[in-house]
Structure formats: structure tokens, C-alpha cells
Amino acid sequence: MRHAVADSLWTIAWRRLRKNIGAVIGMVVLGLMVVMAVIAPLITAFEPTTQILEYSVRPAMFRGNVLFKRNPAEPDRPSIVAVTTWSLKGDSVHYDDPAGEPYRLHISQMHGTTPDEWHDEPLFILGTDRFGRDMFSRLVYGMRVSLSVGLISEGIALLIGIMLGALAGYYRGRVDDAIMYVTNVVWSFPTILLVIAFSVILGQGFWQAFVAIGISSWVDIARIVRGQFFSIREQEYVEATRAFGFSSLRVIGRHMLPNAAGPIIVIATAGFATAIIFEASLSFIGLGVQPPTPSWGSMIRDGYGYIAIGTNVGMAVFPSVAMALAVFALNLFGDGLRDALDPKTMQR
Amino acid sequence: MATYLLKKLIYSMIVLIGVIVLTFFMRPPGDPARVLLGQRADAESIAALRERLGLDQPIPVQISRYVLNLTRGDMGTSIATNRDVLETLTERFPATALLAVSSMVLATILGVFIGVIAAWKANTWVDSTVMGISLLGISLPAFVVALFLVLIFGVKLQWFPNSGYITGGWEHLVLPMITLAIRPLSIIARVTRSSMLDVLGQDYVRTARAKGLSAPSVFMKHALRNALNPVVTTVSAWFAGLLAGTYFIEFVFNWPGIGLVVFNGIEKLDYPIIQGVVLFSAVIFVVVNTFADLLYGFIDPKVRL
């Protein structure tokens, strides 16, 4: 028999979340993306920056034929030679390059010791880009950028937003007025323009993009936290903590914040999705993460020219679909979370 | 009522001052003159540029000069083109406004319509399809929507041109307008739906039904009217965000509005132009929102308290 003790908010929310098909789909897609991003080196044939110029702009499911030549400068990164045919005759490797020119290499010049090590017929599932780089590899490594931008930028935004919102909601009065003034000023700027402006100030790059997005996106969080704190502060248990003489920091951190966690998590999920869009927008216009680091935004930009002429559309379409999928999954999950944590619809 | 309006207006003015000061700092860090001229520039030309841009003055002096110049309508001069920033903006604004307003009208009408249908058919397949598609609409950044629309309607079906301005015919407006409308349309549809559902659960709606009024009449006359308040907020709040979205669309469709100016400016670190566009967009946002607030004061007596 079950105890009469009420389940915690989180247990109930989790149970409701699991019943929400959309949220479950969102979680599964996100989970898969995170796994792919983590094990990226294991599932990609080439590094995202490896160029095979002979294989520039190949369609999806293109199968290459390459030899690996020893690279004395970097033993771990053999030079890649695209071939049409090749054969091993005694101590030398004979091959024709894509232009039909015959060449010969001594086996000591090859990477490794056996043909298995120096020859491969890699499959480019999503084709290649202008520089003959593996689109699939760029997509997966781009996912790393997008997921980390979501995580880190949203982390920065949460830090600023929670701090300011909590201070405003807890102390009210002058502190609240001052913080709300700053919030209103920042809120007046369209966020993407703020991100662009901060990117111009901070310069281009990986970390700059993270910071620019983070310090532009805290306003909604601050507003939500402030609103939550306004009502939580009236609760009896908060009154009790004050009667005990707890410090403000302890009351805010240990007693009030955990009770405002639901709405914060919901808005953080939405912010995660927005951060991904912002990063892609930044690299789409040439700010943010710089080449050759793969980013979905810059990949879409690279492929855009092909859209207008209607050939090789995959170069722009694949990263677009990947981004849409990631953001859609996050929003599905966020919507489910909101419903699951909404006390108005809460039933045991 | 008058005090309420006055308070709102004064606060908006104070916010505007903050906006201007923050905009002032949106320039390359350290010495902008050095950044603009590059590391190899000689000291003399850097000093000359510093003086021309007023960078040799202390920051407080620079800020007050910036504010003073703004009150005279002087937003500075573009570094790349040497043209007056305000002149460039006013010249480009009609194109941006045309795009922004036409897509907002489209988004509002269609969004409310779709939202009402979804609420009418709540918890049926119609509802869940509409909500699913609108969630997708929210998830897609404008340049991705643009990509798919261009590919389908511009390249494959060839119904509409891919780029260009209305001087070449009004059909040039179609794709950018629809692209820009997708996101606000999705949001308005969702807000309308949930607001309708809220209102439909109210006592006065039940009373209206109990009086024997027909369902469509209750739905349109009693519920929709009251459900539109949050929609007004959404529309006004979205308008400024829409402006920023417009800039991206202009970039993609080669639409000669403010967006093209700012993106050309970014490449050349033309910070007076960037500041000008950012400030311009923020001012429009503050003005639109102040008006929306005031409008609320008229519509809803509760707000005035």
C-alpha cells in the first residue's frame, strides 16, 4: 500500500512529462543529438576541417576512393590523396588521380604498413561542401558548437537573470526600481541586435559569441524570477525563515529559489533554443564562430548560393534541417515541461 | 487618467536616455580609431581620425556630445561611406517599414483566425495539427524559412522572384513578406488560442450560453472580444523584434532597407551605422510600447490603477 505522503512536485511533473508524447519525442531527439555530439570522432570518417579538394561539392551518398600518404610533419594526420583506381605492385603503389594522371609511390611513403591502413572508400552520407569537406562530419561537429552555445550562453544568462531578478524581487523598493530600470533599458533593444552589437564590441570567435548571446538574453529570466519572488516572499515559510533570523542569502538561495525553479527551468529551455538560433544567425552573417570551425549558420551561408540556382541544395538544407530539428525538439520539450509544472493543471 | 499617461511618458523618456547611453558604448573596444585603421597605421593618421571622431575627449564629454548631437538629429557619419547616418536611415526606412507592416498585418489577421479555429476545435486533430505547425514556425529562424520558401516557390515552382524590390513589381514583396510573417503568425495563433480557451472558461461566457445565445454568437461576440487583450500585447511587443527580423530578411532577399545597410556596416566595423540602426530600432520599440501601454489605459480601466 502506498503511503499517504504526497509525491513531490518533481515526481508528479516527471510522471506527467512522460505521458506527453511531444515532450518525449523532444527528449529522445535531444538525447540522440547530445550523444552524437559527444561521440563525434567515432561516427565521422573525417575531421570537419579536412579538405579533399578533388571531392568538392559532391552529392549525398557519394563514395570516395582515397589513399593515405605518410605525413612526416603530423604522423597522426596522413595526407589524403583522391584516386580513381589503384594497385599494389611489389614495393610500389600505382594509382590514377581524378584527372587520369598515373602516379607511383613507394610503400614507405604510405601511412601505416598494410593496404587496409592506407586505403579507404569512405561514404559521404550527406556529400561534401565547396572545399571537399565531409558535410556529415561538419554537421555533427556543428552540433557540438550549437549545444555548447546553448548551454554556456544560457548559463551566463541564467546567472545574471536569476541574480538581478532575485535581488529585485527580494529587496523591492529602490533596489527593484534600479534593477527594473536597467532591465527595461536592455529590453528596449531587439535581442538579436544586442547580440550583434556585443559581437562587434567583443570581436569574432567562439567565446565572444557565447558571451555576447549570454549577456543579451537575461532580461526575460530576470522578469520571471522577480515575479516569482514577489509572490513567494508573501508565503508563510519565508516569513518563518526570517523569524529564525536566517541571512538574506540563505533565504534566497535555500528557500526561495528552489520554489521558483519550475518557471525558471521552463524559460531556460526556451532560452537554450533561442541561443542556438542566435548563434546560427551570427555565423550566418559572418560574426560569431569563425571558419574553419563548423557552425550550422556558416554552413547555411556557404550553401545559400546554391539554393538560388537550385543545385546542390543539400549544402544549405541539411544544416537547416538539423537546426530546425534541434530547436523544435527543445521547444517540444519546453512546452511539455511547462504543462507538467503548471500547478493550474496539476492533478494527482 | 492624466497622471497615468504622464507617468508612463516620463518613464519612457528616462528609459530612452538609458538606451542612448548604452548605444554609445556599442563600438570597438579600446581605441576605435586604431581598430578601424588597422595595426600598421601610423600615429599621425590615428590621431587625426581620433580627433575627427571626437575620440580624443574624455568619455563623459563624448557621451554628452553624443546625446546633444542626437537631439539635433545628428547620428554621426558613416565611416565606410562618409554619408550622414540619419539620412541613410530615413532613405532606407520606407522599404523596411513596408516589409515589416505588411507582414505584421498578414500575421495578425491570419494568426487570430487560426488561433480562433484551434480554440473552436480544441483538443481535436485540427487543434493539435495547428499547434504542431505553429511550434515549428516558432522554431525556425527567418533565414531558414527564407531558404525553404525560395527553394520551393522561387526556384522549383518559379511563382515568385527570389530577390529584388517592388520597383520591379509587387510580386517581389510576396516571399519576404511571408517569410517574415511565419514566426509572429505562429506566436499570435498560439496566444489567441490559449487566451480564447481562458475566456471560454469564464462565468460570463457560461451565462451567455445559458441565456440561450447560439454558440457562434457567444464565441465571436463575447469570447473573442475579451480574448484579444493579450493578443494586442503580443502584436505590439513583436513589432520591434520584427524590425530586427526584417533586417535578416532584407539581407537574404537583397531588399534595400535598413538591414542591408547594417550588414554592410558590420563587415567594415562601421560603428556609427551600427549604433544608428540599433538606436533607431530601440526607439521605435519604446515608442510602440508606450503607445500600447497608453492604449491599454484606455481599453482596460484596471490598468490605470
Per-residue pLDDT of chain B (305 residues; tens, 9 = 90+): 678 778 888 988 999 999 999 998 888 776 777 777 776 778 888 888 788 777 778 888 888 888 888 888 888 888 878 888 899 899 988 999 899 889 989 999 999 999 988 988 888 898 889 888 888 888 888 888 888 888 888 888 888 887 777 777 777 888 999 999 998 899 889 888 888 888 877 777 778 878 877 777 777 777 777 777 778 777 777 776 677 778 888 888 888 888 888 888 887 888 888 899 889 888 888 888 888 777 776 766 665 54
Q: Identify the closest residue of chain A to B151 by CA–CA distance.
A: A307
Chain A residues near residue B133 by CB distance under 8 angstroms = none
| Cell reading at A171 | 529587496
Nearest of B195, B176, B279, B278 to residue B235 by alpha carbon:
B195
- B148: which chain A residues are within 8 Å (Cβ-Cβ)? 317, 320
Nearest-CA neighbor of A325 among A149, A143, A144? A143
What is the residue-averaged pLDDT of chain A?
Answer: 87
pLDDT of residue A182: 93
| pLDDT number for residue A76 | 81
Contact: B274, A197; criterion CB under 8 Å: yes
Q: Which of A185, A287, A311, A318 to mutate to test the interface with B (most CBs of B within 10 A)?
A: A185
Contact B151 A287 (CB under 8 A): no
Q: Which of A50-64, A84-98, A230-244, B152-166 has the lowest mean pLDDT?
A: B152-166
Query: Which residues between 120 and 139 in chain B have a beta carbon less than 8 angstroms from any beta carbon of chain A?
Result: 132, 135-136, 138-139
Greater confidence (A140 vs B301) lies with: A140
What pLDDT score was predicted for residue A116?
84
Please compute the mean of the pLDDT values over residues A93-107 and round it to a whole number. Answer: 86
Q: How confident is the model at residue A26 (pLDDT cuts 50, 70, 90)?
A: very high
Q: What is the mean pLDDT of residues A248-273?
A: 87
Given this model, what pLDDT does residue B301 score? Answer: 61
A53 forms beta bridges with: none
pLDDT in tens, A147-202: 999 999 999 999 999 999 999 999 888 999 999 999 999 988 888 888 988 888 88
Grid cell, residue B139, equals 522554431
- Judge whether B248 is closer than 8 Å to chain A, CB to CB: yes
Nearest chain A alpha carbon to B17:
A185
User: What integer pLDDT is reported at residue B165 of this predicted model?
Assistant: 74
Among candidates A188, A194, A332 on the partner chain, residue whose Cβ is nearest the Cβ of B286: A188
Q: Are A277 and B141 in contact (CB < 8 Å)?
A: yes
A-to-B residue pairs, Cβ atoms closer than 8 angstroms: 128
Contact: B151, A192; criterion CB under 8 Å = no
pLDDT (0 to 100) of residue A3: 54
CA distance A55 to A82: 8
Residues of B in contact with A285 (CB under 8 A): 248, 251, 263, 266
Q: Check residue A337 and give its pLDDT.
A: 87
Sequence-distant (≥ 6) Cβ neighbours of residue A214 within 8 angstroms: A152, A153, A154, A155, A156, A157, A160, A275
Q: Which three cell numbers stand for residue A4?
A: 499517504
> Any chain A CB within 8 A of the CB of B269?
yes
Residues of B whose CB is below 8 A from A337: none
Nearest CA in chain A to B259: A193
Of A269, A192, A184, nearest in space to A223 by CA: A184
Nearest-Cα residue of chain A relative to residue B156: A310
Confidence of residue A211 (pLDDT cuts 50, 70, 90): very high
Cβ–Cβ under 8 Å, residues B97 and B243: no
The pTM of the full predicted model, rounded to 2 decimals, is 0.87
In which band, very low, low, confident or very high, does the pLDDT at A272 lie, cut at 50, 70 and 90? very high
CB of B283 within 8 A of CB of B20? no
